Amino acid sequence: MNAKKLMGFAAFLLVVFVFVPMFISATGRWDFYYTLTSVALLSVGAAGVWLTFYIGRINIGQGAYALVGGYVSTILVTQAGVSFWLTLPLAGLFCAFISVLIGFPILRLRGVYFAMVTLVLTEVARLSALALPITNGAKGITSIPQPGELSLFGLTIIPAFGSLSNPRVGFYVMAVVLMIITYLVLWRIVNSRLGHLCRSLQQNEELSASIGVNTAYLRLLAYAISSFFGGIAGAMFASIAQSIYPSSFVVADSVNFMLYCFLGGLGYVFGPMLGTLLLYFGWDLLSIAKEYQLLIYSGVMILLMLVLPNGVLSLLDKKESRA
Amino acid sequence: MEQIIANGLYLGAQYALIALGLTLIFSLMNVLNFAHGQMYVFGGFVTYTVVVQLGLPFIVGLFASAIVLAIMGAAIEKFLFAPVVRRSKRDESTMLLAAGVAFFLDAVILLFFGEKQRGVPKIVNGVFNWDMRIIMPYDRILIGVLAILLIVVFIAFMNYSKTGRAMRALAQDKMAAQLMGVNVARYSMIGFALGAMLAGLVGGLLVTITGVNLGMGGPTSIKAFLMIMIGGAGVISGAIAGGFILGMMESVGLTVLSAYGDITYLVIFATLMIFLAVRPQGLMGKPWG
């Protein structure tokens, strides 16, 4: 990591942990905390979708894993009394595990076939949540306790959320930290040997298989990592909302995850983060337009696509090539 | 038993018509039209407006739906999809555009027609009753027959007209068709318009029975995706087969599985996943679409 990137990273930290809280307390828009927490968590899920794009698969099934992750964490917390902090990785691992089972057959599909199967997967998750006895059907699970204290060797790392004077700030910080870790991991993956192999899959699967790349294994690995991100995002969401329903993550959410990636730019690691911020925050800001909200939102989305078909971050490319 | 088959055929005929439009657009442009369900709802609302608010006969409403949707489809292709397909690095970018169009149509429907459920009065009264074995209202039979008739007309059009031949050539091999002198831009536009028109026609037909509302667009798109996955994306015979198979499965499932609660679609999805694991390209599709 060179100095320029380190500076950028420091600036980013400064913005999210100092400037944003300052801005919010100056303007008094406390609801922005909730919006930004959602942005951070959704971008964790979107990071997973982006990784499947990176191996050349269109993933419209992230909502399914977010829902599963949410339920796993919730059920462990409410029925087994496990600490939330332990359920967070467990939810991710569970999602990764079932994604391997499901991915084994469906990752053989390509193009729109894979896209449509994953879309259907979201519906399967929703209908299963409605039908299974443990998920409590359409009523969902409500009044989930807030995350408790996390301590290591008697040292409190994260205080209990119930004792915080302002849990909203706590959730914001936690979500942003999670997002930063996710994107650091993603950045590391992309710039490693694994990332290069994934890129070879994106370009031509037969060719990369012919020179000895274990494509089936790589596809499963990438899909499992992707679902892991989806699962932890869903688990955090359920904990923040203190409730989860079968309709917490539906097809529209899965499609949105994909749109965040497209809008930010598929060729850029930080594309999904920017895309999530623009789309989700933009949608929130547009609520002043009342009944024209959806019209303006979708109109802007279509316009952006017409002007920048390769994502917002492709603006950077043009500058570089001109210089 | 006869009742289940009759219901399945009736559902299948409508489904096949929806899937035909979607598969046509997919085969010509490699675009997965997320807005297909919204186009269908829009068609239903156009028919509703013409029939109920203007008081014109049903057949006029149906034609109005077809024309409005065809113009809309042509405009969407010419001004939105064609430029993006030309300039984007990856094919999939059109998906964002399609989803944007779906949201846009939702917004337009909300502003123009509101969020209430709308229906058109029955066009024919009475119920067909064959010895208590098949009971079906006459209007459902009429709509089913009309849908099958439209499918036949569509197939004939694709097989025997010059436009249809050009579109089939395009779907088979774009480059070769272009070299043989097929105007790709023009026939892509016609194909998109035709696909949208089919969606509008189904909307117009079904508004007489189930009515339409704003929320129906998304679920309809998902069902249409299912059908073309069963049959194979981009293949006309596959879309028809997929439509009838899904209709039949739904009809059988709702009867047989009703004792176990609302799990018909769960079973259908699970079956589909297993089926696709064995045969990824669907019944009649080309491998890797």
Domain ranges of chain A: 31-322
Taking the Cβ of residue A105 and every Cβ of chain B, the question of whether any pair is shorter than 8 Å is answered with yes
Q: How many CB pairs under 8 A join A and B?
A: 139
Mark yes or no for CB contact A302/B97 under 8 Å.
yes
Residue of B nearest to A58 (CA): B92
Contact B108 A302 (CB under 8 A): no
DSSP B180-218: TT--HHHHHHHHHHHHHHHHHHHHHHHTTTT-B-GGGHH
Distances from the Cα of B269 to the Cα of A97, A246, B64, B226, angstroms: 20, 17, 36, 9
State whether the Cα torsion A272-B273-A64-A68 is positive or negative: negative
**Using one digit for the tens of pLDDT, what is the confidence trace for B113-149?**
887 888 777 777 777 777 777 778 888 888 888 889 9
> In chain A, what residues touch B110 (CB-CB under 8 Å)?
291, 294
Q: Can you tell me which residue has the tokens 């936690």?
A: A174
- pLDDT by residue, tens only, chain B of 289 residues: 778 888 888 888 888 989 998 988 888 888 888 889 999 999 999 998 998 888 888 889 889 999 999 999 999 999 888 888 887 777 777 887 888 898 899 888 888 888 788 877 777 777 777 777 777 888 888 888 888 999 999 999 988 999 988 888 888 888 888 898 888 888 889 999 999 999 999 998 888 888 888 888 888 888 888 888 888 877 888 888 999 998 888 888 887 777 676 778 888 888 888 888 788 777 877 654 4
Q: Report the distance separating Cα B272 and Cα B246, nearest Å.
A: 10
Backbone angles phi, psi at A157, to 5 degrees: -90, -50
Q: Which residues of A touch B32 (CB under 8 A)?
A: 112, 115-116
Give chain B's end-to-end CA distance (angstroms, integer).
36
Residue given tokens 């922005």 in the structure block: A32
B115 touches chain A (CB under 8 A): no
Residues of A in contact with B34 (CB under 8 A): 255
Residues on chain B touching A109 (C-beta within 8 angstroms): 276, 280
What is the residue-wise DSSP string for B118-162? B----SS--EEEETTTEEEEHHHHHHHHHHHHHHHHHHHHHHHSH
Q: Cα angle vertex B19, ends A120, B141, to 5°? A: 115
Closest-CA residue in chain B for A128? B266
B157-169 pLDDT per residue, tens: 988 999 988 888 8
Contacts of residue A318, Cβ cutoff 8 Å, sequence gap at least 6? none
Asked if the C-beta of A49 comes within 8 angstroms of chain B's C-beta atoms, the answer is: no
Q: How far apart are CA B281 and CA A162, in angstroms?
A: 52
A11-36 mean pLDDT: 80
B111 vs A contacts (CB less than 8 Å): 291-292, 295
Q: Is the pLDDT of residue A312 over 70?
A: yes
Say yes or no for a CB contact (<8 Å) between B89 and A127: no
Which of A53, A114, A120, A122 best probes binding to B when mutated, by most B CB atoms within 10 angstroms? Answer: A120
Percent of chain B with pLDDT over 70: 97
- Grouping H, G, I as helix, E, B as strand and the rest as coil, residue A141 is strand
Radius of gyration of chain B (CA): 19
Give the integer Cα–Cα distance in Å for A49 and A59.
6
Using CB atoms and an 8 Å cut-off, which of residues 152-191 of chain B contact chain A? none
pTM confidence score: 0.85
CB A137 within 8 A of CB A2: no
Report the interhelical angle of B236-256 vs B138-160 (nearest 10°): 160
User: What pLDDT score does B289 carry?
Assistant: 41
Confidence of residue A5 (pLDDT cuts 50, 70, 90): confident
Nearest chain A CA: its distance from B179 CA (Å)? 26
Neighboring chain B residues of A310 at a CB cutoff of 8 Å: 88-90, 93
Encoded tokens for A67:
């829902």
The answer to whether B19 contacts chain A (CB < 8 Å) is no
B112 vs A: CB within 8 A: no
The secondary structure of A239-294 as a DSSP string is: HHHT-B-TTSS-HHHHHHHHHHHHHH-TT-TTHHHHHHIIIIIHHHHGGGGGGGHH
pLDDT at B226: 86
Q: Kindly report the nearest CA distance between residue A168 and chain B, in angstroms.
A: 31
Q: What is the DSSP string of B43-62?
A: HHHHHHIIIIIS---HHHHH
Contacts of A262 in chain B (CB under 8 A): 92-93, 95-96
Q: What is the Cα–Cα distance from B154 to B239, expressed in whole angstroms? A: 12
**Residue-wise over A160-183: b if at least 16 C-beta within 10 A, else e?**
bbeeeeebbbbbbbbbbebbbebb
pLDDT given at position A323:
39
What is the pLDDT confidence band of residue A215, given thresholds at 50, 70 and 90? confident
The answer to whether A305 contacts B97, with C-beta atoms less than 8 Å apart, is yes
Residue numbers of B between 36 and 75 with CB closer than 8 Å to A: none
> Can you read off the two tokens belonging to residue A17?
């942990």
Alpha-carbon distances, residue A155 vs A150, A160, A163, A170, B32 (angstroms): 9, 13, 16, 18, 53
Contact A310 B106 (CB under 8 A): no
CB-based contact, B211 to chain A, within 8 Å: no
**Burial of residue A203, with CB atoms counted within 10 A of its CB: 0-12 exposed, 13-18 middle, 19 or more buried:** exposed
Residue pair B174/B168 in contact (Cβ under 8 Å)? The answer is no
Contact B18, B220 (CB under 8 A): yes
Q: Is B263 on the interface with A (CB under 8 A)?
A: yes
Q: Is B257 exposed, middle or buried (0-12, 13-18, 19+ CB in 10 A)?
A: middle
Which residues from B are below 8 Å from A292, CB to CB? 107, 111
Residue A94: closest CA among A246, A253, A228: A228
Give the residue from chain B lying closest to A304, CA to CA. Answer: B97
CB contact under 8 A, B273 and A262: no
Q: What are the CA-CA distances from residue A265 to residues A4, A189, A199, B13, B90 (Å)? A: 22, 18, 15, 40, 11
Give B-chain residues touching A116 at CB under 8 angstroms.
Answer: 32, 225-226, 228-229, 233
ipTM, two decimals: 0.79
Interchain proximity A262–B34, CB inside 8 Å: no
Of A110, A121, A259, the CB nearest to B96: A259
Q: Three-state SS for A235?
A: helix
Nearest CA distance, B97 vs chain A (angstrom): 6
- Is residue A110 within 8 angstroms of chain B, CB to CB? yes
Tokens of A284: 């929130």
Predicted confidence (pLDDT) per residue in A78-107, tens digit: 888 888 888 888 999 999 999 998 888 888
